């Protein structure tokens, strides 16, 4: 059966995931939703525009993705660590309400709203997956360095939302799997300001990370729902 895949987020990892899935799921229809149109060489990858700040646009995206059939796989590859005005906090005196509100809006609230409309579109007759890219720094038990208050907290909150979504979804769709995935540190605009402190073998090209994540996704079973896994398939504790 032709698989129906939706990827939300057209950054480095989102694009690499689309290309990887197009090469492994030969007949799949892949809709990539992003703020700007993206050109793909594979005709099975369709670029669609979405306005993350407009809930009606997210509703329309979910309806578009499921117009021909229920969705087999949704990957939410959105997120922010910094921009021209915001950098991760190194100390308490760098905290601000505005920074927290913005980082949480993108990293926590947006994936939850996407889930609100995409989860009901998942395939119910066979295995279906809703995966969100999170980050290891969102693990409270793994936090040994401190800092990065807003980003760490937003990802920890995201991981809690994933757990909630998994519990609720299991009551309605027994074949659905809801997980958080850590792609590793990827060579992208998100990590660029911090790459000097990363060992070369720990800085992944987007295609490598995408390939690893697809392997993890392919091995997922319903017993894994609600959990958080890295690119090697190792569970990350809260």
> Is pLDDT of 16 > 90?
yes
Q: Let me know if residue 124 belongs to a domain.
A: yes
Rounded to two decimals, what is the model's pTM? 0.96
> Is pLDDT of 1 > 70?
no
> Is pLDDT of 197 > 90?
no
> Is pLDDT of 43 > 90?
yes
Q: Let me know if residue 159 belongs to a domain.
A: yes
| Inter-residue contact 119 to 130 (CB < 8 Å) | yes
The residue ranking higher by pLDDT, 194 or 234, is: 234
Cα separation, 151 vs 134, in Å, equals 10
Q: Which domain holds residue 205?
A: 4-230
Provide CB contacts within 8 A for 172, sequence distance 6+. none
Cα separation, 198 vs 191, in Å, equals 10
Q: Let me know if residue 235 belongs to a domain.
A: no
Q: Let me know if residue 9 belongs to a domain.
A: yes
Provide CB contacts within 8 A for 13, sequence distance 6+. 77, 133, 183, 186, 188, 206, 209, 210
Q: Let me know if residue 238 belongs to a domain.
A: no
Give the chain's domain count: 1
| Inter-residue contact 48 to 61 (CB < 8 Å) | yes
Q: Let me know if residue 58 belongs to a domain.
A: yes
Q: Let me know if residue 237 belongs to a domain.
A: no
The 10s digit of each residue's pLDDT in 78-124 is: 999 999 889 999 999 999 999 999 999 999 999 999 999 999 999 99
CATH code for the domain of 207: 3.40.50.720
Q: Let me know if residue 236 belongs to a domain.
A: no
């Amino acid at each position: 059966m032709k698989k129906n895949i939706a990827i939300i987020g057209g950054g480095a990892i989102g694009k690499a995931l689309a290309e990887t899935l197009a090469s492994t799921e030969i007949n799949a229809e892949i809709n990539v939703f992003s703020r700007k149109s993206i050109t793909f060489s594979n005709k099975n990858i369709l670029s669609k525009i979405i306005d993350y700040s407009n809930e009606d646009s997210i509703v329309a995206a979910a309806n578009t993705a499921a117009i021909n059939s229920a969705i087999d796989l949704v990957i939410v590859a959105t997120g922010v660590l910094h921009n021209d005005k915001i950098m991760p906090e190194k100390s308490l005196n760098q905290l601000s309400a505005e920074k927290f509100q913005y980082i949480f809006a993108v990293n926590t609230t947006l994936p939850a709203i996407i889930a609100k409309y995409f989860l009901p579109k998942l395939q119910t007759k066979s295995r279906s997956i809703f995966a969100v890219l999170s980050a290891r720094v969102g693990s409270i038990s793994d936090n040994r360095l401190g800092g990065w208050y807003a980003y760490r907290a937003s990802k920890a909150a995201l991981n809690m939302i994933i757990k909630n979504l998994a519990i609720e979804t299991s009551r309605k769709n027994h074949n659905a799997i809801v997980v958080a995935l850590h792609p590793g540190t990827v060579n992208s605009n998100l990590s660029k300001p911090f790459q000097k402190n990363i060992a070369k073998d720990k800085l992944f090209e987007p295609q490598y990370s995408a390939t690893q994540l697809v392997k993890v996704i392919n091995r997922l079973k319903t017993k894994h729902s609600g959990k958080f896994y890295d690119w090697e398939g190792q569970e990350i504790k809260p």
